[in-house]
A and B are shown apart, each in its own frame.
Chain A
Amino acid sequence: GQSLEQPSEVTAVEGAIVQINCTYQTSGFYGLSWYQQHDGGAPTFLSYNALDGLEETGRFSSFLSRSDSYGYLLLQELQMKDSASYFCAVLSGGYNKLIFGAGTRLAVHP
């Protein structure tokens, strides 16, 4: 089967750093994506890793280890507006088929 595992909830304070892990088991793998979704909103793209290593985009970084079937999203200098659900998703097919994890709900407190 195909599955992605990520923590259901994470809590942190403003200004802190938080890491959201994702492990995956899929029949095909092209890369790992991260999406952010605020309550009632549409998922929005954050990052994509096709190769091992760290990708940095402003306050957000994403890491991938293909040999470990593992990745993480690192959020630095947390702000209240970062409170949202974060989904890891495996790009599983040659036509951008995304398989999503169940999501991690991040709550940022003052």
Chain B
Amino acid sequence: DGGITQSPKYLFRKEGQNVTLSCEQNLNHDAMYWYRQDPGQGLRLIYYSQIVNDFQKGDIAEGYSVSREKKESFPLTVTSAQKNPTAFYLCASRGSRGINQPQHFGDGTRLSIL
């Protein structure tokens, strides 16, 4: 079945540590996105990518980094510079450079600080 797989489902970060959240899709979608969601809040865009080897900052990119070396994969690294990383992280994708296409989401990763 086609879809988006995020791993791990739960992740704990120690102070000063970088952690990487995985996002893989087998939908053959060009565009991929990372969102952060705080409890009871909406979706805020961290980074997005329309094509391999290219990505753009979203509204809250500080303290995060991404790579897009393969069409299927768009990992997100939460660096130690992100002082308040506790949140629900959602990866999404959509096809044909995205415009007016529905967005499909993975099941998310919950990140907490130890």
A and B bind: no
Q: Which residues of B contact A (CB under 8 A)?
A: none
Q: Which residues of A contact B (CB under 8 A)?
A: none
